[in-house]
Structure 1
Amino acid sequence: MSTETLLERINDHASRPDPYPLYAELREHGVARQNDGSYLVGTYHQIAALLHDPRISSDVRHRTAPDASAHAAGLPPSFIGVDDPEHDRLRRLTMRPFGPPHSPGRVDALHDDIEEIARELIDGFADRDRIDLVDDFAYPLPVTVICRLLGVPQEDMPSVRTWTDTIIASLDHSPGDDPEEKRRAGLEARMAMGGYLGELADRRREHPADDMISALVHGDDPEGRLSKPELMTTLTLLTIAGHETTVNLITNGMLTLLRHPEELARLRREPELMPSAVEELLRYEPPVQMLPQRTPLTDVEVGGVTVPKGAPLFLILASGNRDPLRFEDPDRFDPARRDNQHFGFGSGVHNCFGAPLARVETQVALATLLRRLDDPRLVEDPPPYRHSPILRGPRHLLIAKGEH
C-alpha cells in the first residue's frame, strides 16, 4: 500500500487500537510525503533533530496554507503555538508561579492532595463490581488537581469538561464529519472557556487566593505580566493540557499493566519501580502520539527528502518511541528499562510544560490503584478508543474488580 496514504490510515478510527504496525511502515521509509502535501517523520533520530532545529516552526501561520482554525478569533496563540523569542517570554512568565526556579515546591506540595483525591475516588466505587476507569477515576483525578491548582471552583468543573471535549473533538479527522462545523464548535468552546477564565482572573485581581491564577495576575516579573488576552489563552491551554493528556496516560498505563499481569504483580512487589514504569509507559503507549503543527521556515532535507518551506510537517512521536535503532526490543513493555529518553513529553524548547505534574499524578494514580484493587480484570479488550489520533487513549475502560 502507498506510503502517501499513511496519514489517512493512521487517522482512520479503525487503526486506533493498534497504530504501531503503521508506524513501523513509516519508519521503513523515514519520511513519507502524503497526498495532501504534508510530510510524516517517524524515526527517532530524525524526530529528535527536528525538535531541536530552529528552522522548524511551531507557528502554523508560517504554513503555505495557514490553518484558520488554529487560534480562536480575537485571542493570541498560546505559547505552544509560537516560536522564540515570544514563546520563551510567555512560557517563562507562566512558569514563574508553577515551577523552578521561582516556585520549586508547587508540584511536590500537591503529592498528598493527589493521594487523597485518588483514595476518595476509589472509595466512591468501593461497593461496585465493575468500574469505568476513565469516567470513575482517570478523568476526575487530574481535572480536580488542575482546577485546584489554578483556582477553578469545583462547581464549574462540568463546564470545563464540556468545553474541553468540544475542543479536543475539533482536532479529530474522522471521515464523514463536517470539518467546518467542528472547527466552528471548537472555536466557540475556546472563546467560552477563555472568557470564563478571563473573568475568573479578574475576580482574583480583586480577591486573590492561594492559587496559580492569583499568582499570575499579581506577578512581579521584571518583564511584566501577561496581558488579559494572553492570560485567557494561557489559562485555556493549562486547563486543557493540564488534565487531558494525563487522562490518557493513566488509562493507557492501567490497560498496559492489565495486559501484562506479570509486570503488574512485579510493581506490587516492588513499588519503588513505579517512577521507572511511568517513564516506560510514556515511551510504550504515549498519550500524545504525534505533533501535527510543525512547519519548515525554509526547505529542509530530512533523510534524503526535501521538505519544502511552509509544508505541514507531522512528527510521529509514538513511532520514534518504538524505533529499534534507538531502543532495544522496543515493542516490549519493560518497567525497569534504562536509557529511556522517550518522546512522551516531546523534546526541545517545547518540551511539555506540565511534565512534572503529569509524572506525579500518574505515579500516585497507578500506585493507589494497585494497592487498592484486588484482581482487576479487563471486561473488553481492545476497549473503545477516542477518535483523536493525536491524543490517543480509550474512551472507556471497563474493569471488573475486587477490592481490599
Structure 2
Amino acid sequence: MNDSANISILPYLHFDAATRHIRLDPHEPVFVQNPYAAYGWLHAHSPAFFWEDYGFWCFAGHDEISRLLRDRRFGREKPADDSDGGMDRAHLADFDRVERHSMLELEPPVHTRLRTLVNRAFVSRQVERLRPRIEKLANELIDGFESDGGVDLMPAFATPIPVVVIAEMLGVPTENAPQLLDWSHRMVAMYMHGHSRETQESANRAAAEFSAYIRDYANERRKKPGDDLLSLLLAAEEDGAKLSEDELVTTAILLLNAGHEATVNQTGNAVKTILKSGRDPKALFASPESTAATVEECLRYDAPLHMFTRYAYGEIKLDDGITIQPGEQIGLILGAGNRDPRAFEESGRFLPGRADQKNVSFGAGIHFCIGAPLARLEMQVSLNTLFTRLPDLRLAETPLYRDTYHFHGLERLLLEW
C-alpha cells in the first residue's frame, strides 16, 4: 500500500493512509443501510481515524472506546472558552437554555448533584416494579392489531411502549404522547450531521413549547404532589440543594426524550435482527436468562446510537500517536465498538448467549445511560410478549434505516403473520 495515497476503499469511503483521514458522508445511502461494512474495513486498517466530514478524531475499537468514555480528561461539557465557530446562536436561545442544564451535557460537580437526585427513580429495584405495567401495555397494543394479519411495528408497538411508560413515570398525560414525540424529534434533529437553519429554528420552537408545557405541569404538581417522578424531582434534595426551575424543566425533557428515542430504535432493530437470523424465538425467549441474553446481544449487534462525542479539557496524547488539543471533540463510534473483532469472537454474527457478551451501547463512566435498567426491562418484556403472542411473525418487506446517523433506527418495520 502506498502510504501517501488517497485510496478509494469502498465506493463511498476514501482513506489517506499517511494522515489516517477518511471522507465518508454519513448520509451516503449505502452507509446508512449498512454502516458495518465501513466499520469492518476501519477495524482492519485504521480503528482510529480523522473523520473529515465531522472534523474530529474518531475511535472504533471496543476497548479504546470503553477507556475514553471513562477518561476524565474528556467530558461532555463544552469548554467555557470554546466558541461555536463564530455562529450566531440567537435563534437557538430556547434550545440552548434547555441544553445548558442537561446532566448529559454537564460534568461534576453539577452533573453529580443532578444525577444523584434523578438516579433513585431508575435503579433496578425501582424499575422492576414496572414489569406488570409494561407487559399489560404490550398485550393491549398487540390486541389492537393481532387480527389484522400485518402491521408497521414502529408506530404500533415500538414507539408507544417507552413513550407511555416514561410519560406515566413523570406524571404527564399519555394522551399528549403525539405532541411529546413531535417536540422530541424536532429537538433531537439538532444532534444529526449537517442540520439546516430550518431544523435549528424548528428545534428552538420545540424547546420553547416543551419547556412551557413542563413548567405548567410542574406548577400543578407543586400544588398537588403525586407519586410520580415530576413530584419526586420537585421535592428532591441533595445536601440541601434542590433542582432549580430550569434544571427541573431540562431534566424532565431529557428523561422524556432519552426515555424513548433509543428504545424505539432498538426495539425495531432487535425484531429485524431476530427475524433475519432464522433463530427460533421460542428458544430465544424460553427463560428469563435466555431473554436477557437475547436482549444484550441485540444491543451489541445493532445498536440504536452509533456516535457519542466528548471534549478534551487539555492537550491529550493518546497511545496511538494522536494528540487532541484543548477544546477539540472526539467521536466514539459505539456501533463499531460493538462489532470489534478484537473484542468479540465472530463479531459479525448474532449469537445470543455468547461467552464474550459486552457492549458500549449505553456508554460507560459517569455518563452511563441512567435509563439502562428501564430500557433493558422494556425490551425484555416487550420482545418476549411480541414473539409469544405472534409466533409466526415474519418480515413483509426488507426494512430500511432512516438517514439519521448517528441515531440508528428503521423507517418502518412491516410485519405479517
Alignment correspondent of 1:118: 138
Alignment correspondent of 1:234: 251
From 165, 168, 171, give the equivalent of 2:185.
Answer: 165
How far did residue 264 of structure 1 move? 2.7
Q: Report if the CA contact (8 A) 2:79-2:327 is conserved.
A: no
- Seen in structure 2, the aligned counterparts of structure 1 residues 70 and 63 have a Cα distance that, compared at 3 Å, is farther
Alignment correspondent of 2:266: 249
Alignment correspondent of 1:388: 404
How far did residue 17 of structure 1 move? 1.7
From 227, 231, 236, give the equivalent of 1:214.
Answer: 231
Q: Is 1:80 matched with 2:104?
A: yes
Q: Report if the CA contact (8 A) 1:194-1:235 is conserved.
A: no
From 397, 401, 404, give the equivalent of 2:413.
Answer: 397
SS where residue 295 of structure 1 aligns?
strand
Alignment correspondent of 1:139: 159
- Seen in structure 2, the aligned counterparts of structure 1 residues 70 and 295 have a Cα distance that, compared at 3 Å, is farther
Q: Report if the CA contact (8 A) 1:168-1:388 is conserved.
A: no
1:327-358 Cα shifts (integer Å, max 9, x gaps): 11111111111232210111111000000000
Between the aligned residues of both structures, percent identity stands at: 35
Q: Report if the CA contact (8 A) 2:285-2:294 is conserved.
A: no
Q: TM-score scaled by structure 1?
A: 0.91
How far did residue 77 of structure 1 move? 3.0
Distance in 2 (CA, whole Å) between partners of 1:90 and 1:328 is: 39
- Seen in structure 2, the aligned counterparts of structure 1 residues 115 and 237 have a Cα distance that, compared at 3 Å, is same
Aligned-partner residue type, residue 143 of structure 1: V
Alignment correspondent of 2:67: 49
- Seen in structure 2, the aligned counterparts of structure 1 residues 7 and 202 have a Cα distance that, compared at 3 Å, is farther
Instruction: Provide structure 2 residue ranges, at least 5 long, that are not aligned to the other structure.
Output: 1-7, 9-13
Instruction: Provide structure 1 residue ranges, at least 5 long, that are not aligned to the other structure.
Output: none
How far did residue 377 of structure 1 move? 1.2
Q: Report if the CA contact (8 A) 1:167-1:190 is conserved.
A: yes
Distance in 1 (CA, whole Å) between partners of 2:411 and 2:70 is: 33
Aligned ranges for residues 126-205 of structure 1 at < 5 Å?
126-173=146-193, 179-205=196-222
How far did residue 397 of structure 1 move? 0.2
Alignment correspondent of 1:95: 119
Q: Report if the CA contact (8 A) 1:251-1:397 is conserved.
A: yes
CA-based RMSD of the aligned residues comes to 2.1
Q: Report if the CA contact (8 A) 1:119-1:368 is conserved.
A: yes
Q: Is 1:15 matched with 2:36?
A: no
Distance in 2 (CA, whole Å) between partners of 1:156 and 1:266 is: 38
1:34-70 Cα shifts (integer Å, max 9, x gaps): 3353111111121111111111121134584438569
From 35, 38, 47, give the equivalent of 2:56.
Answer: 38
Alignment correspondent of 1:349: 366
Distance in 2 (CA, whole Å) between partners of 1:340 and 1:347 is: 15
Distance in 2 (CA, whole Å) between partners of 1:388 and 1:301 is: 32
1:10-42 Cα shifts (integer Å, max 9, x gaps): 343442221011112332212211335311111
1:208-231 Cα shifts (integer Å, max 9, x gaps): 112100111122433321100011
Q: TM-score scaled by structure 2?
A: 0.89
Query: How many corresponding residue pairs?
Result: 392
